[in-house]
Amino acid sequence: MSTLPWVCRNCLSRITRPTFRRLVRYQSTGTIVASRESIPSGLLARARQIAVEHKELTDKLANDFDPRAARKVGEYGPIVDALKAWDNANKSVAELTGLIHDPETDAELRELAADDLSATRESLVDASQSLTTSLVPVHPFAHLPCLIEIRPGVGGSEAAIFAGDLLRMYQAFCNRHGIRATLLKYENVNGTQEAGLPLSEAILEVGNEGAYGMFRCEAGVHRVQRVPATETKGRVHTSAVSVLVLPSIGENSLGEEDINDPESDYYIDPKEVKLEVMRARGAGGQHVNTTESAVRLTHTPTNTVVSMQDFRSQPKNKEKAWQLLRSRVAQLRREKREEELTALRRSVVGVAKTGRGDKVRTYNWGQQRVTDHRSGTTVHDLDDVMGGGQTLEKVMDSVRTWLMEQDVQALIAEQTTEKK
Contacts with another protein by CB under 8 A lie at 190-194, 275, 277, 279-280, 282-294, 309, 312-316
> Cβ 286 to another protein, closest distance in Å?
5
CB nearer another protein, residue 277 or residue 341: 277
Residue 100 vs 278, nearer CB to another protein: 278
8 A C-beta contact, residue 214 and residue 393: no
Cα–Cα distance list, 296 to 103, 138, 198, 330, 407 (Å): 82, 35, 26, 18, 38
CB of 301 to another protein, least distance (A): 18
Q: Please give the Cα distance from 23 to 366 (Å, whole number).
A: 14
C-alpha to C-alpha distance for 245 and 220, rounded to whole angstroms: 8
- Grouping H, G, I as helix, E, B as strand and the rest as coil, residue 40 is coil
Nearer to another protein, 141 or 186 (CB): 186
- Strand (E) or helix (H) holding 277: strand 273-277
Minimum Å gap between C-beta 175 and another protein is 21
User: Whole-number minimum distance, CB 138 to another protein, in Å?
Assistant: 36
N- to C-terminal Cα distance for the chain? 70
Is residue 25 a contact partner of residue 375, using CB atoms and an 8 Å limit?
A: no
For another protein, which is the closer residue by CB, 53 or 292?
292
Q: How far is the CB of 141 from another protein (least distance, A)?
A: 29
Q: How far is the CB of 390 from another protein (least distance, A)?
A: 34
Q: Which helix (H) or strand (E) holds 241?
A: strand 237-247
Q: Which residues contact 204 (CB under 8 A, 6 or more apart)?
A: 147, 148, 149, 150, 167, 170, 171, 181, 182, 183, 184
Least Å from the CB of residue 264 to another protein = 24
d(CA 362, CA 378): 9
Q: How far apart are CA 106 and CA 83, in angstroms?
A: 33
How many Å apart are CA 352 and CA 149, to the nearest integer? 20
- For another protein, give the closer residue by CB, 294 or 332: 294
Measure the CA angle with vertex 345, ends 340 and 351; round to 5°.
115
Calpha distance 371→379 (Å, rounded): 6
Cβ contacts of residue 323 below 8 Å, gap of 6+?
248, 249, 250
Question: How far apart are CB 252 and another protein at their closest, in Å?
Answer: 17
Query: Closest distance between another protein and the C-beta of residue 281, in Å?
Result: 8
Name every residue whose Cβ is closer than 8 Å to that of residue 121 and which is 6 or more positions away in sequence. 37, 93
Residue 179: CB minimum distance to another protein, A: 24
Task: Using the minimum distance from each CB to another protein, give the nearer residue, 63 or 289.
Answer: 289
DSSP conformational letter for 14: H
Cβ distance to another protein smaller for residue 28 or 290: 290
Nearer to another protein, 178 or 191 (CB): 191
* Residue whose CB is less far from another protein, 284 or 350: 284
* Closest to 220 in 3D by CA, of 357, 101, 89: 357
Return the amino acid letter for 392: L
> For another protein, which is the closer residue by CB, 273 or 386?
273
Number of C-beta neighbours around residue 188 at 10 A: 19
